[in-house]
Amino acid sequence: MSDAYIALADGRVLEARCRAPGRTRGELVFTTAYTGYEESLTDPSYEEQVLTFSYPLIGNYGVRADRFESGRVHPRAAIAREFTESVATWLESEGVPAIDHIETRDLVTSIREEGAMKCGIVAGEDVTPEDAKAELAECKAMSDHVDIGSQVTTPESTTHLGDGSYDVALIDCGAKGSIISSLNERGADVHVLPCTVSAEDVAEIDPDVLFISNGPGDPANFTNAQSLVEEFAGELPIAGICLGQQIVARAFGGDTEKMAFGHRGVNQPVRDLDSGRVVMTTQNHGYTVSEPGDLEVKQINVNDDTAEGLASEELGIITRQYHPEANPGPHDSLDFFDDVLAMAEASEPVAASD
């Protein structure tokens, strides 16, 4: 008898091996990355999801805390063909269920064909397929997690010092730590603010740039962050990464939609429409900008033509759907942070017309 089961929304229940015990549920997704498992597992954008690694062996180079993107593991559970002992021990210490000895090629194929799906997982002694089905029955759709921002945002404002060259107000919708360090390395003092922060509190900082971070879930549920973009449009340069791009687009009359299985991995090609240059990028998102509104699409995904970069030169706005901080992943797009801070040095954006 197996000591782990996963119940899928397509009706199947699969047997597995328990590597870290527990019972949970979430949206089943996969990543194609074969390195960067520490960064992926600590990425707040995976909140309320179950992460499947398509690469068969996870844990080749151990676990080091200096690679973490946040203070905890965010996926509800982790799945691999095989986890090393170091990763399994880490996940167990975090209270995050982990299962392996499962055919992940088949699982990934199912997600690609049917889309990201709900699942229930049980692992440990005396678990049954019925237990996994019970977890599945309680699983909510990602769009129904209306307060997901409160699960990942900073509980209070903090400041991370660069050399004082710039002040960046980072609205934390689930920010990766490497976004902060990328800005610090370029001289910016980064003020990390809760995603529920008021416009008055942002104004008190007198920032040079308003930056909307990455994060989990449906961008339509981050209404306060969207209102901040609307409030400061034309007054401050505005930047966004991942969820941040989607929020900025919605603030300018655009729209977003859920993707079938999203983009998650370190090998996503993106074309810049002005230069024709193609870069390889790190990505982790399940929603995309379907209509850019008043913004211009500047970059697209080579595989499916979805919007990867938006801009408005007049209003001082630049966004990226992928993760230019490159943790994990290629360094092709690190110059994004230089472009963001260059906006702070430029003349003030022209106010939006009524």
195 is catalytic: no
323 is catalytic: yes
Using DSSP's 3-state secondary structure scheme, residue 271 falls into: strand
Q: Confirm if 301 and 289 have CB atoms less than 8 A apart.
A: no
45 belongs to an annotated ligand binding site: yes
254 belongs to an annotated ligand binding site: no
246 belongs to an annotated ligand binding site: yes
Q: Active site residue: 74, 145, 191, 323, which one?
A: 323
Spatial distance between the Cα atoms of 272 and 318, rounded to a whole number of angstroms: 13
287 belongs to an annotated ligand binding site: yes
243 belongs to an annotated ligand binding site: yes
How many beta carbons lie within 10 A of that of residue 304, not counting itself?
A: 11
Alpha carbon separation from 119 to 2, 49, 50, 314 (Å, rounded): 18, 9, 8, 45
Q: Active site residue: 38, 47, 135, 325, which one?
A: 325
Return the beta strands (E) in the chain as ranges. 4-8, 13-20, 22-31, 49-53, 57-58, 77-79, 82-83, 98-100, 117-123, 158-160, 166-172, 188-194, 209-212, 238-241, 255-272, 278-291, 296-301, 307-312, 317-320
187 belongs to an annotated ligand binding site: no
215 belongs to an annotated ligand binding site: yes
Q: Active site residue: 242, 263, 285, 308, which one?
A: 242
217 belongs to an annotated ligand binding site: yes
- What residues have CB less than 8 Å from 40, skipping those under 6 apart? 31, 33, 46, 51, 284, 328
74 is catalytic: no
Instruction: State CA 346 to chain mean position distance.
Output: 29
Instruction: State CA 303 to chain mean position distance.
Output: 20
Computed on alpha carbons and rounded to an integer, the radius of gyration of the chain in Å comes to: 20
Q: Which residues are annotated as a binding site for L-glutamine?
A: 45, 215, 217, 243, 246, 284, 286-287
Annotated catalytic residues are 242, 323, 325
Annotated binding site: 45, 215, 217, 243, 246, 284, 286-287
